[in-house]
Amino acid sequence: MDLQSLNRSVIEEFRANSGKVAGNFDGMPLLLINIIGAKSGKPYTKPLAYIVDGDRFVVIASYAGHEHNPPWYHNLLAHPDIDIEVEDQVIPVTASVAGEPERTVLFDKMASAMPVFSDYQSKSSRLIPVVIFARR
């Protein structure tokens, strides 16, 4: 199954089950970002693992350890005011990139809950960004 098909099935299952997804994502906290393409201007949705930090939602732009940031990250930089879906709620947020030392603190917090993110960082020479979604 290609990545687009996988994402589509995860999004459908997420929306049908108030944010719960089985299989490889069973028990993993997922949210959906509803973003606008920086160049295309087209809307699209992407599922991402997250943690909560106070009243903020935190995601890591790991791209599974690739040497460049994921496309959704560039789209957020161009259009930071988006909606996210958490469980059965749609929440308007503004995205920002965490600076140091907060980036490391949040990365370590998420990596301790989901060790795969440490693996992704060890595979990449780039410093993987951490994105914060604050309610608007």
- Domains in the chain, please, with CATH? 3-135 (2.30.110.10)
- Do 59 and 131 touch, CB atoms closer than 8 A? yes
Q: Which amino acid would we find at residue 23?
A: G
pLDDT tops 80 at residue 3: no
Q: Which amino acid would we find at residue 25?
A: F
**Non-local CB neighbours of 125 within 8 Å, separated by 6+ positions:** 67
Chain segment 59-103, per-residue pLDDT in tens: 999 998 899 999 999 999 999 999 999 999 999 999 999 999 999
Q: What angle do CA 12, 133, 91 make, to 5 degrees?
A: 50
The pLDDT value recorded for residue 114 is 92
The pLDDT value recorded for residue 1 is 61
The pairing of strands 56-60 and 51-53 is antiparallel
